[in-house]
């Protein structure tokens, strides 16, 4: 897949209801961390259900810069070869493209006792300090120095301990988890993140020979082992992509089978969508969703999993713009994640923000306008909102969307949306 340039645009025009079947790709937020975990042991790994997205390309480039080989051996399959004596360094020009790169820190420390990792970049929605990542690794025995935009980490031998996270940070949980599998003794992570992607990573590590218990709960216990071995693994489906297509259906109407979606990974999204009027039935193949009338407004608040994920929020804001009534959306996780609202207002949305709240008064229809994607989910939400707008909407900076969605335009077009790349 070609990496999009800054001129990438998606053009959406109003169409009829959506209909058909859409296949959900592997979870971006899972595969990136599993790719990082291949730093833990030499040998050949095969990862399946890997989406062809630019974030996967970026992580592939990062592993290759260390001396590993990453090859797409099938449309949804990666083969990763970890040779002896890689260089445990993540250079700035790669890390700045993606915040998730910071999770190579834990596995590199565990396997090589040292790491040099640039401070992360990524989406533009406010600061997300990595203090918790470093604090957890320090408690395992790592030492850090920071200079010239790099973190220099060393550890003669990581030693198991109890790590209490002040917030259930996904990245901090993942770094501590990957570092502790080769540590001496027992590590307990308290107030751990509970996301399905954490459980998928733990499953991958256990298949490698690690001893991880409790992933998916607030307490994860890891018994350190002497060595790990490479394995094959199927990545879980992407719950955020599934939510994106549910939101698209809610706005455009129709009936769609979301193939591969797992209701147990997105219970709060399914519940709130049902409250808005989307009928969702779990089937053997995924989720069968129907939207036959205008949605009803609801109030939503983001919270750590199993609460409503902050990545879901732009889709609820988009659905509320054309729902009946007034909905209040509250952001409790990150600052600065309302920046796309000005773009929705350009499309005629009635939204007022106050601190970390957005009050959305539904309109009968939005109107097409030129808008700009600020990050992955905001960009996708603008495309989704455009399905319920009169006239043409042009979403620029669409390369952000390509970071997290495989064949996004093609999948929507396959459901009947009037959408194309420009």
Task: Compute the 3-state secondary structure of the chain and give helix, strand, coil in percent, each to the nearest 5.
Answer: 35, 30, 35
Which of these, 304, 297, 307, lies nearest to 329 by C-alpha position? 297
Burial of 44 (0-12, 13-18, 19+ CB in 10 A): middle
- 359 φ/ψ angles, rounded to the nearest 5 degrees: -100, 120
Could you give phi then psi for residue 6, rounded to 5 degrees? -70, -15
Q: Is 123 a catalytic site residue?
A: yes
Ordered alpha helix ranges (H), 212-312: 239-252, 267-276
> CA 213 → CA 69, 139, 276, 288, 308, distances in Å?
31, 20, 37, 33, 25
List 55, 123, 311, 402, catalytic entry? 123
Closest of 314, 362, 308 to residue 337, by C-alpha: 314
State how far the Cα of 97 lies from the Cα of 317, in Å rounded to an integer. Answer: 27
Cα angle 342, 346, 351 (rounded to 5 degrees) comes to 55
Cα end-to-end span (Å), the chain:
16
Which pairing describes strands 300-301 and 370-372: parallel, antiparallel, or unpaired? unpaired
Peptide bond into 306 cis (omega under 30): yes
Q: Where are the alpha helices (DSSP H) in 336-389?
A: 341-346, 376-386
Cβ neighbours of 227 (radius 10 Å) = 11
CA distance 65 to 69: 9
- Residues found in the chain: 422
Active site residues: 123
């Amino acid at each position: 897949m070609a990496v999009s340039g800054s001129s990438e645009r998606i053009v959406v025009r109003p169409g009829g209801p959506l209909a058909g079947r859409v296949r959900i790709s592997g979870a971006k937020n899972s595969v990136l961390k599993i790719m990082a975990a291949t730093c833990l042991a030499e040998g050949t790994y095969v990862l399946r259900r890997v989406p062809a997205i630019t974030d996967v390309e970026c992580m592939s480039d990062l592993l290759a810069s260390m001396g590993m080989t990453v090859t797409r051996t099938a449309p949804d399959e990666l083969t990763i070869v970890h040779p002896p004596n890689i260089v445990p360094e993540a250079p700035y020009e790669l890390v700045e493209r993606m915040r998730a790169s910071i999770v190579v820190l834990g596995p590199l420390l565990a396997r090589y006792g040292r790491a040099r990792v640039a401070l992360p970049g990524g989406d533009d929605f406010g600061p997300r300090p990595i203090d918790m990542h470093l604090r957890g690794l320090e408690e395992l025995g790592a030492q850090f120095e920071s200079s010239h935009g790099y973190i220099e980490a060393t550890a003669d031998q990581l030693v198991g301990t109890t790590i209490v996270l002040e917030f259930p940070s996904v990245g901090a949980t993942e770094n501590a988890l990957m570092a502790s599998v080769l540590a001496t003794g027992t590590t307990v992570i308290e107030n751990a993140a509970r996301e399905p992607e954490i459980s998928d990573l733990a499953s991958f590590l256990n298949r490698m020979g690690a001893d991880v218990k409790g992933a998916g709960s607030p307490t994860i216990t890891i018994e350190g082992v002497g060595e790990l071995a490479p394995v094959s693994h199927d990545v879980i489906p992407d719950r955020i992509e599934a939510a994106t297509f549910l939101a698209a259906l809610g706005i455009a109407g129709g009936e769609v089978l979301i193939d591969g979606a797992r209701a147990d990974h997105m219970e709060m999204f399914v519940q709130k969508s049902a409250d808005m009027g989307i009928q969702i039935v779990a089937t053997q193949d995924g989720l069968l969703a129907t939207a036959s009338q205008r949605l009803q407004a609801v109030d939503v608040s983001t919270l750590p999993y199993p609460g409503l994920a902050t990545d879901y929020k732009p889709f609820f804001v988009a659905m509320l713009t054309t729902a009946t009534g007034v909905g209040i959306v509250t952001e409790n996780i990150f600052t600065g994640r309302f920046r796309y609202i000005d773009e929705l207002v350009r499309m005629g949305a009635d939204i007022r923000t106050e601190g970390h709240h957005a009050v959305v008064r539904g309109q009968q229809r939005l109107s097409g306008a030129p808008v700009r994607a600020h990050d992955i989910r905001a960009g996708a939400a603008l495309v989704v909102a455009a399905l319920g707008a009169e006239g043409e909407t042009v979403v620029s900076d669409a390369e952000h969307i390509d970071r997290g969605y495989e064949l996004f335009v093609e999948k929507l077009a396959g459901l009947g949306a009037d959408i194309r790349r420009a």
